[in-house]
Amino acid sequence: MTLCSAVTLAYFSPTGTTRAVLEALAEPLASIEVRHIDLTLPGAETQKLPELESNLVLLGVPVYAGRVPETAVRRLRRLSGHGAPAVLVVVYGNRAFEDALVELSDIARERGFVPIAGAAFIGEHSYSTPATLIAAGRPDVADLARARVLGQTVRDRLAEVADLASMQPLQLPGNRPYRQGMSPSEVAPETDRGLCTLCEACARVCPVAAITVGDRVLTDGAACILCCACVKACPTGARTMADPGVRHTAHWLATEHGARKEAEIFISEVRG
Ligand SMILES: Cc1cc2nc3c(=O)[nH]c(=O)nc-3n(C[C@H](O)[C@H](O)[C@H](O)COP(=O)(O)O)c2cc1C
Ligand code: SF4
Ligand code: SF4
Cα 122 to ligand 2 centroid, rounded to whole Å: 28
190-242 maps to CATH 1.10.10.10: no
Model confidence over 120-168: pLDDT tens digits?
A: 999 999 999 999 999 999 999 999 999 999 999 999 999 999 899 999 9
Q: Which CATH architecture has domain 6-177+260-267?
A: 3-Layer(aba) Sandwich (3.40)
User: What is the pLDDT confidence band of residue 46, given thresholds at 50, 70 and 90?
Assistant: very high
Neighbour-count burial of 125, counting CB atoms closer than 10 A to its CB (0-12 exposed, 13-18 middle, 19+ buried): buried
pTM more than 0.95: yes
Cα 223 to ligand 3 centroid, rounded to whole Å: 8
Contact assessment for residue 173 and residue 156, using Cβ atoms and an 8 Å cutoff: no
Please give the radius of gyration of the chain, using alpha carbons only, rounded to the nearest integer: 19
Model confidence over 83-93: pLDDT tens digits?
A: 999 999 999 99
Residues with a CB atom less than 6 Å from ligand 2:
191, 196-202, 213, 217, 234, 236, 238-239
Q: Please state, in angstroms and rounded to a whole number, the distance separating the CA atoms of residues 244 and 109.
A: 39
Model confidence over 242-254: pLDDT tens digits?
A: 999 999 999 999 9
On the question of pLDDT at 37 being above 60, the answer is yes
Model confidence over 107-129: pLDDT tens digits?
A: 999 999 999 999 999 999 999 99
CA-nearest residue, atom 2 of ligand 1: 64
Domain boundaries defined on the chain: 6-177+260-267, 190-242
User: What is the pLDDT confidence band of residue 2, given thresholds at 50, 70 and 90?
Assistant: low
